[in-house]
Amino acid sequence: MMLQAVLVTAALMVASLAISWYARRHTSTTAEFYLAGRAVGIFANASAISGDYFSAASFLGVAGAVYAAGVDGLWIGTGFAAGFVPVLLFFASPLRRFGEYTLPDFLASRFQSRTARLAGVVMVQVVVLFYMAPQMIGAGTIWELLVGRGFLGLSPYATGVALTTLMVATFTAMGGMRGTTWNQAVQFWILLTAVVLVVALALAAGFSYGGVLGDVSRGPLVSPERWRVADLLQADPELGRRPVEMARAVMSPAYWEAHIAPVLNEPQTEVVVLMPQPDRLRPELTAQFNRPGGQYGPLDQISLLLTLVLGTAGLPHVMIRYYTNPSGLVARWTTVWVLVFTSGFYVLAAMVGVLGRALVPQLLYQGGRGLLVPTVDGVLLRPDTVLPLLAQSLGGPLVFGDVAAGAVAAMFSTIGGLLMAAAASWGHDLFERYLDPGVPERTRVLVGKLAIGLMALMALALGLLVPRLGLDQAYPAVIARMVTWAFSVAAGGLVPVLFVSIWWRGVTLRGALAGMVLGGGGAVVYIVLHMLYVLGRLPDGLSLELLDHMAYPTLFTVPLALGAIYLVSWLDRRNLPGNVDEVWMRIHGTAAERHARRVARVGRVSGP
Amino acid sequence: MADWKTPQNGGAEEALGQELADWAPTDWVIEEYDTPEEVEAVFRAQRRLSFRYGGLFLAATITLPVLNSTWGYWVHEPLGKGFTLAYLAAAFLYPIFCVLLGLAYTLQANRLEEDLLGRRR
C-alpha cells in the first residue's frame, strides 16, 4: 500500500466533494442541473470535455497499449484524439444551436416523434452501459493496485468498484452539471500534469525519445504469454519449430535458467514466457516496435481507427457537454481546444509507453525504487502499470501519488459524465416528457438526482459482473477493448442518424429508425458474437471467420446504417417531417445566438 | 436609462470602451433575424465546407492504415533514431494534421457565417 498515493488520492476525493458542495446552489432548475445554465466558456468546457473523455482507458491504457504493441498501440490514442475532428466538422455547432438538453431531444424534435425520442433513449443507455463497464473495471483494478485490500468483507476489487460508485454518484448528484464541469476540468489538469511530470523527469534523466525508440526497435517485439509446458515443447507444424525455442531465443539466459528451465520437465505446469510477436501485416516477419502489425491485421487496422474517429460524436456524455456552451460559435472553438488538449496528452502518453519499454528492465535491475508490479524477464505482465511504475521510479512517492490521483480523476470525471448523460436521458427524456410533464422544477431536479442513483447501482452491478463472465481473462487489455466497443455502438447507432438529420433534408422517421436499429443493433450483435467467440461459447456449427480478423464492426455497421437510412427514407419520401424549415433555421441559422450576444452586450454596458 | 458600469482595470476598460463605441441606443430595439433563403444558402455553403474538410480527413485516416499494409518503405526504413514513417505519422504528423485542419475549418466556417448572415431590423 502506498501511503502517499492514498493520501493524494484522498485529497482529490475531498476536493471533488468540496467543489460539488459549493456548486450545489446552482442546481435549482433543470437547465442548471443538467447544463450548467448553458454558460460554460471555451477553456473551461474544453478542459471539462477532455476530463470527461479521458477515462482509465486513456490515462493508463494508451501508455500501456504503446508499451505492449508499439505503433499499433499508438493508434488508440491518436484515434481517440482525432475523433473530435468529425465532431467539429459536422456536429458541435449545429447541435448546440438546436439547443434542448439531450441527443434524444434533438431526434424527437427533428422528426416530431416520440418513437424517435424513445429510440434515442435506448441507444444512449446502451452506449452509456458499454462505456460504464470498463470504467468500473478500472476502478476495481486501480484499488487493487493502490491499496490491495478490501473492506467490509469485500474483495479489494469489489471495494474499489463500490467506493468509486458511491463517491461519483454523490458528487454528481450534489453538484449537478456545474459541479461536474468544475470537477472534470480540475481532474483533466491533474492527469495532464501527471503525464507531463513523468515525461519531463525521464528527459531530465537523459533519455531521448529517438534514442530510446531506436533501442527498443532493434529486436523483435515480445510479449508475455502463459503456456502449458507440454504445449511449449510441442513442435508447431506451421512454424516448423517448437515454441520453447522461440521463447528461449528472446529471453535472457539468467532468467531462463532461474525461472523456466527448472519446470520444463513438468508437462502440466503453466509458465509465463516472452514470445516474439508475429507481424500480422506481413506474416513472414516478426513484429517490431516501430513497425505496425504487432497487434492488428489489415482489416483491424482500418476498423479500429474508423471506430475511434467516428464513435466520439455518438458518445452522449461528451456531446451533452456541448449544450453547456453559450453558442454554436463557442462550441466550435471549444472543440479546437479539445483537439489541442487531447492530441497533446496522447503524444505524451505514447512517449511514456516507449520510455517504459527501455526503462523498465533497467529499473528492475537497479531494484528498490519501483512498485511491486509483476514482470517477466524485464517486461511488464500488465502493460497498464507502466505509467505508475515510471512515476514511482523516476519521481518518487509524490509523483506516483499524482499519477494515482490522475488515474482516479480520469475515472471520476468519465463516470460523472456518464451518470449525468444517463440521468438526463431518464429524467428529462422520459420522466419530464412522458410520465409527468406538468411536474414542478424542484421535482424534476429531484428525479434527475434519483436517476443518477439508479444508474450508479447499474454501474456497480456491471463492475461486479464483468469479472464473473471471465471477460477480463479472455481479453488481455479488457478496459481499452470495452471502451472501443462503446465507440463501436455509438458509431453505428447514433452517429449516422445524427449526421443525416443535420445535413440531409430528405431523411424520414422510418429511415432514421432503420439506421439506428441496423447500425446500433448490428454493432451490439457483432460484439456479443465476438465475446462468445473469444470465450469459446459460440453455438456449435456457427463459425464466423470474420470474428478472427475484425474486432470492431464499424467498417460495415456505419455504411449499413447510412445505406438503410437513405434507402428507407427514399421509399418513404412522401412522409418527410413537416418542420424541416424550422429545424434548419435553428441549426444552421445564427439569428438566435446573435440576438443573445447583443442582449448580453447591452446587459454588460448598462447596469441593472 | 440605466447607469453605466465603471470598468475596474485597463484591459476590461479597453474592451468595454470598444463595446460602448459599437453600441447605439437603438440596440435595445434591434432584432436579429435570418431569412429561410439565407439559411438555406449558408447551409449549402457550410455543407460544402464541412464535406470538403471531412473528405480530406477521411482520406488521410484511411490512407494511413492502408499504407501500413501495403508500402514497405513506409514501415521498414528508419529515418534515423528508430523513427519509421509509420511511427512518425501515428505519433506526430496525424495529430498535428488534425489540429491544423480543425483550426482552418473553424476560421473558415465562422467567416462564412459572418459573411452570409447578419440581418437586423
- Smallest Cβ distance to A90: which of B50, B65, B98? B50
Range scoring the smallest mean pLDDT among A20-29, A59-68, A365-374, A428-437: A365-374
Distance from CA of A357 to the nearest CA of B (A): 14
Instruction: Please say if the pLDDT value at position A29 is more than 50.
Output: yes
Contacts of A75 in chain B (CB under 8 A): 65, 90
In chain B, count of helices (H) and strands (E)? 5, 2
Dihedrals phi, psi of A279, to nearest 5 degrees: -80, 115
Distance from CA of B69 to the nearest CA of A (A): 6
Range scoring the smallest mean pLDDT among A201-210, A307-316, A558-567: A201-210
Q: Which chain B residue has its CA at the smallest distance from A302's CA?
A: B65
Residue A576: left (phi > 0), alpha (psi -120 to 50), or beta? beta
Measured CA to CA, the distance from residue A83 to residue A309 in angstroms comes to: 4
Span A437-463, average pLDDT: 82
Distance from CA of B8 to the nearest CA of A (A): 13
* CB within 8 Å: A343 and B43: no
pLDDT at A236: 80
pLDDT at B4: 34
Query: Per-residue confidence at A602, pLDDT binned at 50, 70, 90?
Result: low
pLDDT higher for B70 or B97?
B97
Q: Give A28's contacts (C-beta < 8 A, 6+ positions apart).
A: A441, A442, A445
Distance from CA of A478 to the nearest CA of B (A): 23
Dihedrals phi, psi of A494, to nearest 5 degrees: -115, -40
* CB within 8 Å: A605 and B86: no
Residue A460 contacts residue A165 (beta carbons within 8 Å): yes
Please report, rounded to a whole number, the percentage of residues in chain A having pLDDT higher than 90.
21
* CB within 8 Å: B83 and A213: yes
Span A301-324, average pLDDT: 88
Dihedrals phi, psi of A34, to nearest 5 degrees: -90, -30
DSSP A294: S
Contact of B82 with chain A, judged by CB distance below 8 Å, is answered with yes
**Largest Cα–Cα distance of chain A, in whole Å?**
88
- Host H or E run for residue A73: helix A71-82
Query: Per-residue confidence at A333, pLDDT binned at 50, 70, 90?
Result: very high
Contact of B8 with chain A, judged by CB distance below 8 Å, is answered with no
pLDDT at A518: 96
pLDDT at B1: 34
Q: Which chain A residue has its CA at the smallest distance from B38's CA?
A: A589
Residue A193, CA distances (Å) to A49, A200, A211, A429 in order: 17, 10, 24, 37
Measured CA to CA, the distance from residue A590 to residue B39 in angstroms comes to: 9
Distance from CA of A402 to the nearest CA of B (A): 25
Residue A89 contacts residue B57 (beta carbons within 8 Å): yes
The mean of the pLDDT values for chain A is 84
* CB-count burial class (<10 Å; 0-12, 13-18, 19+) for A218: exposed
Residue A402, CA distances (Å) to A10, A392, B92 in order: 11, 10, 26
Cell (9 digits) for A156? 479489494
Query: Which of residues 73 through 92 in chain A touch B, CB cutoff 8 A?
Result: 74-75, 78, 81-82, 84-86, 88-90
Q: Give A362's contacts (C-beta < 8 A, 6+ positions apart).
A: none
Contacts of B78 in chain A (CB under 8 A): 214, 217, 290
Task: Name the most confidently modeled range: A293-297, A416-420, A527-531.
Answer: A527-531
Measured CA to CA, the distance from residue A87 to residue A95 in angstroms comes to: 10
Contact of A301 with chain B, judged by CB distance below 8 Å, is answered with yes
Amino acid letter, A204: A
Residue A374 contacts residue A381 (beta carbons within 8 Å): yes
Neighbours of B7 (CB within 10 A): 14
pLDDT higher for A123 or B11?
A123
Cell (9 digits) for A507? 431523411
Q: pLDDT digit string (tens) for B37-67?
A: 888 888 999 999 999 999 999 999 999 999 9
Provide the β-strand partners of residue B33: B119
Residue from A42, A76, A88 to probe the interface with B (highest B Cβ count within 10 Å):
A88
Q: Which residue do the cell numbers 429511415 mark?
A: A511
User: What is the signed CA dihedral for A103, A98, B47, A570, rounded to 10 degrees?
Assistant: 60
* ipTM associated with this complex: 0.86
Contacts of B48 in chain A (CB under 8 A): none
Residue A205 contacts residue A355 (beta carbons within 8 Å): no
Q: Which residue do the cell numbers 444512449 mark?
A: A124
Query: Per-residue confidence at B14, pLDDT binned at 50, 70, 90?
Result: low
Residue B73, CA distances (Å) to B68, B85, B91 in order: 10, 8, 17
pLDDT at A278: 85
Contact of B39 with chain A, judged by CB distance below 8 Å, is answered with yes
Span A514-541, average pLDDT: 87
* CB within 8 Å: A347 and B1: no
* CB-count burial class (<10 Å; 0-12, 13-18, 19+) for A240: exposed
> Model's pTM, two decimal places?
0.85
pLDDT higher for A149 or A305?
A305
Neighbours of A541 (CB within 10 A): 5
The secondary structure of B4-20 as a DSSP string is BPPP-SHHHHHHHHHHH
Q: Which residue do the cell numbers 447551409 mark?
A: B43
Chains A, B: CB contacts within 8 A come to 184
- Smallest Cβ distance to A606: which of B2, B43, B86? B2
Shortest CA distance to A307 belongs to which of A76, A514, A500, A524? A76
Contact of A602 with chain B, judged by CB distance below 8 Å, is answered with yes
Residue A392: left (phi > 0), alpha (psi -120 to 50), or beta? alpha
* CB-count burial class (<10 Å; 0-12, 13-18, 19+) for A233: middle
Instruction: Please say if the pLDDT value at position A134 is more than 70.
Output: yes
* CB within 8 Å: A606 and B32: no
Q: Which chain B residue has its CA at the smallest distance from A285's CA?
A: B76
Measured CA to CA, the distance from residue B37 to residue B40 in angstroms comes to: 5
Q: pLDDT digit string (tens) for B66-88?
A: 998 888 888 887 777 788 999 99
* CB within 8 Å: A601 and B19: yes
**Helices A114-146 and A3-23: crossing angle, nearest 10°?**
150
* CB-count burial class (<10 Å; 0-12, 13-18, 19+) for B121: exposed
Contact of A601 with chain B, judged by CB distance below 8 Å, is answered with yes
Measured CA to CA, the distance from residue A440 to residue A447 in angstroms comes to: 11
Contacts of B68 in chain A (CB under 8 A): 71, 281, 292-293, 301
Contacts of B96 in chain A (CB under 8 A): 343
